[in-house]
Chains A and B, each alone.
Chain A
Amino acid sequence: MLVLENVHTHYGKIEALHGVSVEVNKGEIVSLIGANGAGKTTLLMTVCGNPQASSGRVILEGKDITHDATSNIMRSGIAIVPEGRRVFSGLTVEENLHMGGFFNTKAEIRKSQDHVYDLFPRLKERENQRAGTMSGGEQQMLAIGRALMSKPNMIILDEPSLGLAPIIIQQIFEIIGHLRDEGITVFLVEQNAHQALNLADRGYVLETGKIRLHDTGKNLLNNPEVREAYLGG
C-alpha cells in the first residue's frame, strides 16, 4: 500500500532522515515509535510531500508520489490526522467534517458524515458547536472523523494520544482498531509505545533518522531493547 524506499529528507542542509525504508501493507496497522526528535513527524511529512524526499522513493498503491504536490497526494485516497489535532476551531463540528469531504459530492459527504457519527456519537451531540470549545478528546475524535470524511483507503495518525486522559486514549485506540476491521489501512505514529505496539500488526522503531528495529508488534513489545528505551524497563 505505502512503501518508503531508502528515503532521505533534508531541512535545508540538515539531513533529518538518513535512508528510511518502511512498508505498510493493505489492511494492516503499522506503528512507528521513537523518541522526540527521532524524525517521526518528518517521515510523515515526507509522505505528504512537505518537505519532499531529497532521495529515495515514496510509493502509494504502486504509484510513485515522491515528487507530487501535497494537495494531490492528499486527494489520492490517503488522509492524515495531524499532530495536535488542528481542528478548525471557529467552525462548527459539522463544518469541520464537511471540510474533510471538500472534494466529494454532497451525497458522499452525507454518507460519510453519518458513518462518522456512528463511530463517534459524541460528535453528533455536538454537531453545531464550535470545534474550539470542545475538550481535547472530542477534538481528537473530530480530527479523526474529519480525516475519514474523504473515504480514505489509508489513514495516517500522528500522535493521536497526545495530551489526552488515559480513558480517552483507550477509546481512541479502540476506534483505530475498529477502522482496521473496516478495511482501512492504518499508519500510526506514537510516543505511547505500549498502546501503539499492542494494537499494531507490525512496528518500526525510529532513532535519529534511521529505522533501528522492525518486527511484529508483539515481538517488539517483548524486545528487551524496546522495553528498556520506550516502555520503562
Chain B
Amino acid sequence: MATHNLKHALFCAIVTVVIAYPILGLDLVAQGTQIGLEGATPTTIISIFLAAGIVFLFQLFRDNIMGNLGKLPKLNPLSGREPMPAEKRAKVEAWVLTAIIVLALFWPFVVSRGSVDLATLVLIYIMLALGLNVVVGLAGLLDLGYVAFYAVGAYTFALLYQYFGFTFWMALPVGALLAATFGMVLGFPVLRLRGDYLAIVTLGFGEIIRILLNNWTAVTGGPNGIGGIPDPTLFGMEFGRRVKGEGNTSFHETFGIAYSGEHKVIFLYLIALVLAVITALVIRRLMRMPVGRAWEALREDEIAARSLGLSRTAVKLSAFTIGAFFAGFAGTVFASKQGFISPESFVFLESAIILAIVVLGGMGSQIGVILAAIAVTILPELAREFSDFRMLVFGAAMVLMMVWRPQGLMPMRRIPISLKRQE
C-alpha cells in the first residue's frame, strides 16, 4: 500500500515537472530576425519544483486528505433540502426564465458596447448548442461536424448578399432552410451508423464543407472570405452613419437622435436574443411532442424503438434536420455580426466547443446547455489576464468539471409525460 502510494506520488511529481517545465520554463524570444530559446528564471524553476513537491505530498497522503475532506460539513446549504414538488418547480422555473428574458431585453442599454458584443456571441453559441442538443442530447447521435451547418447558414447569407443583394431578413429563412437541407443530406449516408462510426463520418462532413469553402475560390473567395456583409435593418431603417441600400432610411435620422455606433450593436443583440428564445421555445415544444419522445426512444434503445414501428430513417433525419436548421439561424446572425466571414471561423475546434457546451451543460437539458454556453464563451474572456495560459485555464476547468460533475452542470430532468385521465 505505502510503496504503491510512494511510486504513484513520485510518478505524478515527475509528470508535473515534465509538463510544466517546457510550458512555463522555456520562452521563445525574437532576436532580430531569428527566434531564440530562453531558459527560465530561477524563480520560475523554483516554483515548478515547489509545485512538483506539493503534487508529490498530496498524492502520497491522498487517501488521508480526501478522507478528512469528506468529514467536513457540506458547503452547499441547499444540499439536504427536499426537492420541490414538480408542479411548483415548473411554475418557479417559468417565472425565473421570464424574468431573465425581460432583464436581458433591457440589459444592453446600461452596459458597455464590448459586453453587448460578447453577449451577442453568447447568444449565437446558445442557438448552436440548443440545436446540437437535439442531435446529441436527445437523439443520441454523436455529431462532430455540426459546424458545417453553421457555415452553411453564414455563407448562404454572405453569398446571397454578394450575388443577389439579399438582406438579412431575406437570407435568414433561406440560410436556415438550406442548412436544414444539408442536415438531411448528411443524414442519409449515416442512417445505419452509430457511435464512433457516426462521429467519424460527421467529422469528415464538417471538414468537406470547410475545405470546399476554402478552395472554391471563384465563388466563395476562398481563404480571403467574404466581406462587407450588411447589418440587419429595422423595417428598412439602417443603422450605419450613411444609408447604403436603395430606398432605405437611416435609424438615427428617422427618430431624430444623434448617431451612435451602439445602436447597431444593441439591435443585433436583440435580434440574437429573440432568435435564441424562439430556438429554445420551439425545441422545448418539440421535446414534448411525439417526435421528441421518438428521439429519446431511439437514444435509449434503437432496436426497441424500431420494434414499435418507429422508422429509423424518419426519426434520425428529423433530428439532424432540426438541429441543422438552428445552426443555420446562428450562422446567418454570425455573418451579420462579423460583417466578414472566412472558412477559418468554421474549423473543427468550433464543433468541439459546441459539443463541449452540450456535454458540460448536461446532455438534453436546455437550461444546463444555456448556462454552459454562457460559461464557455465568457470564461476565455475572463481568463484574458492569464494571457498565454488562457486556453490552459479553460482546459483545466473542463477537466475538473468532468471529473466532479460528469452529468453536466444541470443534468436533464425529464418531465414525465402522462395522459390526463377523466376520473
Contact = CB atoms under 8 A, between A and B. Distances in A.
Nearest to A49: B306
Nearest to A95: B417
Which of A91, A113, A128 is the most central at the interface, judged by chain B CB atoms within 10 Å of its CB?
Answer: A91
A8 interface: no
B27 interface: no
A95 B303 contact: no
Q: How large is the interface on B (under 10, 10 to 19, 20 to 34, 35 or more residues)?
A: 20 to 34
Contact of A48 (B290, B307, B417): B307
Contacts of A100: 308
Q: How large is the interface on A (under 10, 10 to 19, 20 to 34, 35 or more residues)?
A: 20 to 34
Contacts, number: 80
A88 B301 contact: yes
A36 interface: no
Interface stretch (B124-132, B247-255, B309-317): B309-317
Interface in B199-247: none
A99 B297 contact: yes
Given A86-B301, A88-B300, A91-B297, A74 B308 contact: yes
A227 interface: no
Nearest to B300: A88
Interface string A83-122: 0001111111011001110110010011001000000000
Contacts of B417: 94-95, 98
Contacts of B418: 94-95, 127-128
Given A48-B307, A91-B300, A99-B308, A106 B416 contact: no
A89 B312 CA distance: 19
A95 B418 CA distance: 7
Which of A72, A88, A110, A146 is the most central at the interface, judged by chain B CB atoms within 10 Å of its CB?
Answer: A88
Which of B303, B309, B310 is the most central at the interface, judged by chain A CB atoms within 10 Å of its CB?
Answer: B309
A150 interface: yes
Contact of B310 (A90, A91, A102, A110): A102
B414 interface: yes
A102 B314 CA distance: 14
Contact of A110 (B290, B305, B313, B419): B419
B306 A74 contact: yes
A130 B320 CA distance: 27
A72 B417 CA distance: 26
A69 interface: yes
A156 B297 CA distance: 20
B157 to A, nearest CB: 37
A187 B311 CA distance: 23
Contact of A71 (B300, B304, B311, B414): B311
A50 interface: yes
Nearest to A94: B418
A150 B308 contact: yes
Nearest to A71: B311
Nearest to B313: A71
Contacts of A208: none
Interface of A: 48, 50, 69-72, 74-75, 79-80, 82, 86-92, 94-95, 98-100, 102-103, 106, 109-110, 113, 127-128, 146-147, 150
Given A72-B309, A98-B417, 4 more contacts: A71-B310, A71-B312, A82-B307, A102-B308
